[in-house]
Structure 1
Amino acid sequence: MSQPLNIAIAGAGIGGLAAAALLAGKGHRVSVYDQFEAAGPVGSGLMLQETGLAVLAELGLRAAAEALGAPIARLWGVSADTGRAVLDVRYGALREGLRGIGIQRAALFRLLEGAAAASGASVVASTRITAANPATGMLVRQDGGAHGPFDLVIDALGVRSVLSSAPAKALPYGALWATLPWPEGGPFDPEALEQRYEAARKMAGVMPSGCAHPGAPQSLTYFWSIRDDGYDAFRSAPLLHWKDAARALWPETARLVEQIQDHDQLTFARYRHRTHWPAAEGRLIHIGDSWHAASPQLGQGANMALLDAFALARAVEAGGEAAEIAALYVRQRAAHVRLYQLMTWAFTPVYQSDSRLLPWIRDWLAAPVSKLWPAPPLMAALVSGALGSPLAKLGLKAGR
């Protein structure tokens, strides 16, 4: 057990709250700084893979997350152009009983927020952090005030982190997201994330996302791919124009689309890709999207942030100076981060781009090959996070 440290965390998102709960739970003095009056989630549903669930198990939250979420056994996508199934990933191809969990971001946030509070971490609201000194461990607020010094400063501010010097490359496509009630009587598979594509220019998806709290109705997350530079045009056009396009791509979603009566019901998410090297400098350590931002094509964002938080807590527990802690943290995570950054970079334009060639290759070459062994278990390993899994390295155990 290391000596108690004085630790600051900038950002009360999934990674920041998980790190706070893990570190404060080991007796460290943890202060979490967030710019909002009350910390809260941003976004709609997300997927928890076995990697993220293993970290939640260490926090005693896995059972609660599984109860609030919806099990996902399959990722299934169909090309509207050809009618061919061009994405068919079954978790069971890797291991019987393996599942992902679709969960509302707000539900996961509340679990982690409760764990952080129970561990003794302090959340300081209405505090916008604008700078950090890696040498002294001081944090600077927007109003010029300062906090610290701290033994460690954890940057969990996400892809737009002001504490990261690496520019984030904006991806051409983002997505519109909405959380809607699960429709009684289908027509969607309650254990599948389903998608429909028109080339790679249009994509719609439906993902079961569980319930907001115990006893609440089941929900789904609906998403629609949109070019980043097309969002203003979407906002200024009558909503009916978008609805017509959505129904034309996937007629079965008409009941969902009809529930959306206002542009503001659809949250626009811009995607960026970047990796901040070095991941640590002096007393400053980056986790989650402030280190490795990517599109959500492989459903790894929250899981990678949870793994970062656990790896950092494990490095702190090993003891030593800030440089030693940072070095161990990076050794535990660097290979996995590099692998999934590369795979996400490669897969994203296949499903979100203006390319004509890539969707043709996807539909007519990659899709048939993906059904041949060893592609099914390999794809399941990639999506579940098991490819290059760091669980053994981190001393984490996979669930059932």
Structure 2
Amino acid sequence: MAQPLSIAVVGLGSAGPASATLLARQGHRVELFERAPACEPVGAGFLLQPSGMSVLDELGILEPVLERGARIERLHVLDQQERDLLDLQYQELGDHLFGLGLHRPVLLHYLLAAMAKESVPVHWNWEVTGARRESKGWILESATGQQSRVFDLLIVADGARSTLRQRLFPKGINRGYPWGAHWFIGHNHDTFPTQELYQVVNGTRQLAGFLATGRKLEEEHDLVSLFWSLKLADDELIRSQPLQKWKDTILKVTPRAEPFLAQIEDWSQVLTARYGDVRLPCCHREGVVILGDAAHAMSPQLGQGVNLALQDASSLARCLERFPQSEALAQYARARHFQLAFYSFSTRQLTPWFQSDHQWLSPLRKAFFRTMQYTPPARKFMTRSMAGLVGSRMT
């Protein structure tokens, strides 16, 4: 490594704290800026893939994360008549591979612990609204008029609704999806399988997903995350109607959910998730690089957002360790291009098959997955895609 750099990281999602930790470990002077006033236990459950776990291992936090998560062995998708549509199992890639259902605040807790171990300061309640380039580096500007010191390198990792992306990387695509999801995290009560992502679909307009999510930091109950497909334009109307009507709609698709849904007593317990498609022609410019959802937000159909963000952080750290800053960012962009392009393209193509008004896609979807599942090379490729291994450094 050349002379240590002073580095500003904006955003406390996944890519931000992971990159801050790895770069501080290399001897760089890293500071992280976060708009939230404090660490808050919010966020849905998500599926951590082997590709993401490899980065947590690199960070030294995989073991405690595994203790709080739910080991996922299988992706199981059925239609409303409970006929198999898709059944992929991690063990087909090797007995050592599996997914991990996780409560998002659990991951953040251990990412913060890793940063603290490397003495990375976090500037809470520091909403970055702008950044300007001067002869010696980058200066951050806040919503309250504050200015940071000068940094050699700026890492933008402030999420899908990034403020800095609009200012520093104005070219590209930033498109919101018309479909999102209602989500809720509750106790399993032995309702759903504890080692799989269980989904039921009815055409392309209705999808119920139930992901075993492990345990919260302060609890020992097994959790399940519900994701119910939603056309965002209908959200206000749906919420104006009795909660039981919403439950009944889900129960028509998957009756076994009744004891789980009984935990929901008020609309305030059901949150709305919105998704977007972000694509940039280039992820870096002089002295600045953009990571994670800020650079490549996508629909969660393949469940790769956190995993790709963690791999961004690991790849950037490797490039800065091996190359001077003037070369490292271009090397990073080349290293990440294939995997990010693959998952971005695949997600865009797959999303209408599960969330759209194109009901005519249903029989095509059934025929496609039936053919792919019973064609060994295609099945293996689908399973590798699920595990986040396409384009990954893992074999």
TM-score with structure 1 length normalisation?
0.93
Residue 359 to residue 148, structure 1, CA distance change in 2 (3 Å): farther
- Aligned residue type for 2:143: Q
Partner of 2:156: 155
2:343 is aligned, of 340, 345, 354, to: 340
The CA deviation string for residues 202-252 of structure 1, in whole angstroms up to 9 with x for no partner, is 111111111113872221111111011111112222211101111111100
1:144 partner SS = coil
Q: Which runs of 4+ in 1 moved over 6 A?
A: none
Q: Does 1:387 align with 2:390?
A: yes
Partner of 2:78, secondary structure, is strand
Offset of residue 96 of structure 1: 2.6
Question: What is the 5 A alignment of 1:138-177?
Answer: 138-164=139-165, 165=170, 166-177=172-183
State how far apart, in whole Å, the 1-side matches of 2:132 and 2:280 are. Answer: 17
C-alpha contact 2:50 2:388 (8 A) present in aligned 1: yes
Q: Does the 8 A contact of 2:191 with 2:259 survive in 1?
A: no
Q: Deviation at 1:150?
A: 0.6
- In structure 2, distance between residues paired with 1:167 and 1:137: 25
Check if 1:227 corresponds to 2:237. Answer: no
For 1:111-130, what aligned pairs fall within 5 Å after superposition?
Answer: 111-130=110-129
The letter of the residue matching 1:374 is P
Aligned runs of 1:1-400 on 2, under 5 Å? 1-40=1-40, 42-80=42-80, 82-134=81-133, 136-164=137-165, 165=170, 166-183=172-189, 186-213=190-217, 216-321=220-325, 323-391=326-394
Letter in structure 2 aligned against 1:188: F
Letter in 1 for 2:51: T
Per-residue CA deviations over 1:331-382 (Å, capped at 9, x if unaligned) read 2111111111111111111111111121221124433442332232111101
TM-superposition CA deviations, 1:44-66 (whole Å, max 9, x none):
11111111111111111111111
Code of the residue aligned with 1:57 in structure 2: it is D
Alignment partner, residue 395 of structure 1? none
Separation in 2 of the partners of 1:39 and 1:168? 27
Q: Partners in 1 of 2:8 and 2:39 — Cα distance?
A: 16
- Provide the C-alpha distance between the structure 1 equivalents of 2:239 and 2:74, rounded to a whole number of angstroms: 33
Aligned residue for 1:115, secondary structure, equals helix
1:42 shift after superposition? 4.4
SS in 2 for 1:381: helix
Over the aligned positions, Cα root-mean-square deviation in angstroms equals: 1.6
Deviations 1:66-85 (Å, cap 9, x if unpaired)? 111111111001111x5421
Structure 2 equivalent of residue 394 of structure 1: none
- Is this contact kept in 2: 1:246–1:257, CA < 8 A? no
Q: CA-to-partner distance for each residue in 1:278-321, whole Å, 9 max, x for gaps?
A: 10011111000111110111111100000001111112212413
Conserved? CA contact 1:84–1:363, under 8 Å: no
- Which amino acid in the other structure matches residue 354 of structure 2? Y
Secondary structure of the 2:151 match is coil
Q: 1 CA distance for matches of 2:55 and 2:232?
A: 33
Counterparts of 1:289 and 1:171, CA distance in 2: 14
- Alignment gaps of 5+ in structure 1: 392-397
- Supply the AA of the counterpart residue of 2:247: K
3-state SS in 1 of match to 2:281: coil
1:41 deviation in Å? 5.5
**Deviation readout 1:116-154 (Å, 9 max, x if unpaired):** 111111100111101123563111111232213111111
Query: Aligned partner of 1:156: which letter?
Result: A
Equivalent AA in structure 2 for residue 328 of structure 1 = Q
User: 1:111–1:275: structure 2 CA closer, same or farther, 3 Å change rule?
Assistant: same
Q: For the residues of structure 2 that align with 1:361 and 1:265, how far apart are their CA atoms?
A: 36
